[in-house]
Amino acid sequence: MGFIEDISTATDIIRNADAVTLVSHIDADGITAEAIAAQAISRLGIPVTPVFVRQLEPLTMRHVPNDDTLKIFTDLGAGQQNLMEEAGLSSDNVLILDHHINQPAPGGTVYPQVNSQFYGQEYAKCSAAGVTYMVARKLDPANADLADLAVVGNVGDMMARETCGLVGIARWIADDGVGSGRVRITKGLNCYGLSTRPLHLCLANSDDPLLPGISGDPKAAIDLLIRLGIYEKPSDQRVWEELHADEAKLLASVVAEQMIANGESTERLFAELYFFPHETEKSPLRNASEYATMLNACGRWAKPKIGTAVCFGDRGQQYREAEHMLRHHRSIIRELCEYILDTGVADAGSIQWIHTGDSYPDTIVGIGAGMALSKLDTTKPIMVLCSVSDEPDLVKISMRTYEKVLRCGVDLQAALVTAAAEFNGAGGGHNIAAGAYIPKGCEDDFIRRVNELIAGQLTAGAPHR
């Protein structure tokens, strides 16, 4: 079936529900998908009960009630239909809104699903929040006021990273947000922290693109900004968003010149940026990538409902708590990234790996892996293993790689699903970012097996698309 038909089926299922249980994932995409669905469904007068899980696995399945409510799974579920089937969930009261690779239920139960991976290139780079937004939009065009949340979900799940901007249906959603006044699209520096970080730190922290003479050197960035008249003195704290158009243009052209002089491509220097004009200037909610980090900070540290409150518009006590979570999250991620780089990764041949033990929660090691990888050998996928605090018999696996490695045939989701199954674990995710849980004790064999599978994928070569 096509996208339009699947969206129509989903809206029919929702309209016929008496009550909904919304099961969602604890990251920025999961929280925004939940916030979009919860608001759209409540607006129909249907009661909604939210349930957040770090992942659908046998232990967390007990939070999913087997009752008469319609269970809507957002940002998870496509890869765990076996667990739904085992739990006896009927296809009559399940709806999956997802973007993870589909793994059909072994017993043949077919759960209704809208999954952006089903409909070809135009849809593929759309996160679960984007899929959920399209369903909400079909339920009632007035739900277009939720477009900013869908943009946060898409950007949070890195849908804009490779292409320096959203594409396909995710781009359409951003445009829809422009139409409803919720989103402002602009072109600018492809750096993180454009609304909140003093400009010299924003530039100095950039590693993709690498800015010659500036990346890793805040002092050099300050000198440049003073030379251009953008900073008056070294202690200035202006952010990119505060620059006048001519200042932004001047900065961009000077940085571009420096890149060209160093023989670097300027291809990734500029990106399409998504700002939210209704949010307070210089706040983390002002642009999509910083908003997403705030939601990740809430969800990955076990307070997804604080993130939901922010998405629902709380700018009081819950927002202040979210700010606190964000500060904490940033400092721990920074520490984790340093830990990985200082300790060093082991080279297994086709992958590099590190075990972080119980030093960091399993919910954040994937983010740390992604950030550390930019400073490691980017041609080899990274695997981080860690313990799971409330499940001592399990080990959590997170893997990350780059699009250029996918083009050589690598598929992390496929490798982890195969290897995890062989060791009585379970894995899922995307070709570029995947995770798994495996029983403790088999880590060495597991690393060897994943390495072997990735080596095999590289030998087989690029996928035919």
8-state DSSP, 109: -
**Among the residue ranges 256-264, 269-277, 385-393, 423-431, the one whose residues contact ligand C5P (CB under 6 A):** 423-431
Which residues make Cβ contacts (< 8 Å) with residue 165, sequence separation at least 6?
171, 271, 272
Give the three-class secondary structure for 49. Answer: strand
* CA–CA distance, 347 with 293 (Å, rounded to integer): 30
> Does 330 engage in binding with ligand C5P (CB under 6 A)?
yes
Q: Would you say 225 and 187 are in contact if contact means Cβ atoms under 8 Å apart?
A: no
* CA–CA distance, 254 with 234 (Å, rounded to integer): 19
Query: How many chain residues are in contact with ligand C5P, going by CB under 6 A?
Result: 31
In the numeric block, which tokens belong to residue 438?
């495996």
Out of 150, 333, 340, 382, the only residue in the binding site for ligand C5P (CB under 6 A) is 333
Place of tokens 């908003």: 291
> Does 214 engage in binding with ligand C5P (CB under 6 A)?
no
Out of 48, 434, 453, 454, the only residue in the binding site for ligand C5P (CB under 6 A) is 434
**Among the residue ranges 10-18, 136-144, 271-279, 434-442, the one whose residues contact ligand C5P (CB under 6 A):** 434-442
Least Å distance between CB 165 and ligand C5P? 14
Among 441, 439, 363, 359, CA closest to 398: 363
- The total number of residues shown for the chain amounts to 465
Out of 435, 446, 453, 457, the only residue in the binding site for ligand C5P (CB under 6 A) is 435
> Does 368 engage in binding with ligand C5P (CB under 6 A)?
no
> Does 432 engage in binding with ligand C5P (CB under 6 A)?
yes
Out of 89, 437, 453, 454, the only residue in the binding site for ligand C5P (CB under 6 A) is 437
Least Å distance between CB 28 and ligand C5P? 8
* CA–CA distance, 430 with 435 (Å, rounded to integer): 9
Applying the rule CB under 6 A, the residues between 83 and 112 that interact with ligand C5P are: 100
**Among the residue ranges 44-52, 59-67, 215-223, 429-437, the one whose residues contact ligand C5P (CB under 6 A):** 429-437
* CA–CA distance, 151 with 32 (Å, rounded to integer): 9
> Does 398 engage in binding with ligand C5P (CB under 6 A)?
yes
Q: Would you say 55 and 76 are in contact if contact means Cβ atoms under 8 Å apart?
A: yes
Give the three-class secondary structure for 215. Answer: coil
> Does 284 engage in binding with ligand C5P (CB under 6 A)?
no
Out of 158, 173, 322, 386, the only residue in the binding site for ligand C5P (CB under 6 A) is 158
Least Å distance between CB 368 and ligand C5P? 9
**Residue 14-43 contact track with ligand C5P, rule CB under 6 A, x = bound:** -----------x-x-x--------------
Q: Would you say 28 and 293 are in contact if contact means Cβ atoms under 8 Å apart?
A: yes
Q: Where are the alpha helices (DSSP H) in 198-316?
A: 199-204, 218-227, 245-261, 288-300, 304-311
> Does 322 engage in binding with ligand C5P (CB under 6 A)?
no
Note the residues at the interface with ligand C5P (CB under 6 A): 25, 27, 29, 55, 75, 79, 100, 157-158, 192, 205, 293, 329-330, 333-334, 366-367, 370, 398, 426-430, 432-437
